[in-house]
Amino acid sequence: MVVNARRFAALFAGFDTGNACEAEALSKGRALRCIAAQLNMRIVDLLEVPEVRQAIDDQMHPARQGRRELEDAMEHAAALREELTERTRDVRNLAEMLARQKEVSKALREELAATCATTGPSPTQKTPPQNHAVSPARVFHDVSHSCGAQSWVFEIAVVIVAFILLCMAGFN
């Protein structure tokens, strides 16, 4: 069954405290109860039906107060959207910086390999056994000693990259 929102709003307006006639207000209150009972609803639930709410607004022009919880939730949602935008921008920037760092690392490795190929390994360099895992620090140590004076460029690059990563971690 469909509610007649305009009739409900008119009865509610007559039932409200603005009606000076007590008997008429009681009669309209009973009519509201009958409408709600026919729909198998409560009056308070009918007041939240969008059509009824709009009809009451049109009829009575209520002065509603804003709900503070809703306003707080909306402000919090806006702040979260703003923070998400910032974090997305940060992730994008970090991804770009990582891509640039990978390019620089690749170029430095190629330069180091070319330098090592032209100068050859030092006589004191030990080559690790093929079947054992080698730590990156050990490889760096062996390569830096085998390439002589040019290895300082790679060491400085590694320090700069580490410094940049530490600075970025500090901002988060």
Q: How far apart are the C-alpha atoms of 67 and 64, rounded to whole Å?
A: 9
Q: Which amino acid appears at position 165 of this protein?
A: L
Q: How far apart are the C-alpha atoms of 23 and 31, rounded to whole Å?
A: 12
Task: Write out the chain's pLDDT in tens, 172 residues.
Answer: 688 999 999 999 888 877 888 899 899 999 999 999 999 999 999 999 999 999 988 888 877 776 788 888 889 999 999 999 999 998 998 999 999 999 999 999 888 888 887 776 555 555 555 544 545 555 455 554 555 555 666 777 777 887 777 777 666 5
Where does 16-67 have alpha helices with state H?
A: 22-38, 43-46, 50-60
Q: How far apart are the C-alpha atoms of 85 and 97, rounded to whole Å?
A: 18
- Are 1 and 39 in contact by the 8 Å Cβ rule? The answer is yes
Q: Give residue limits of the domains in the chain.
A: 5-60, 68-171
- Are 15 and 25 in contact by the 8 Å Cβ rule? The answer is yes
Q: How far apart are the C-alpha atoms of 29 and 34, rounded to whole Å?
A: 9
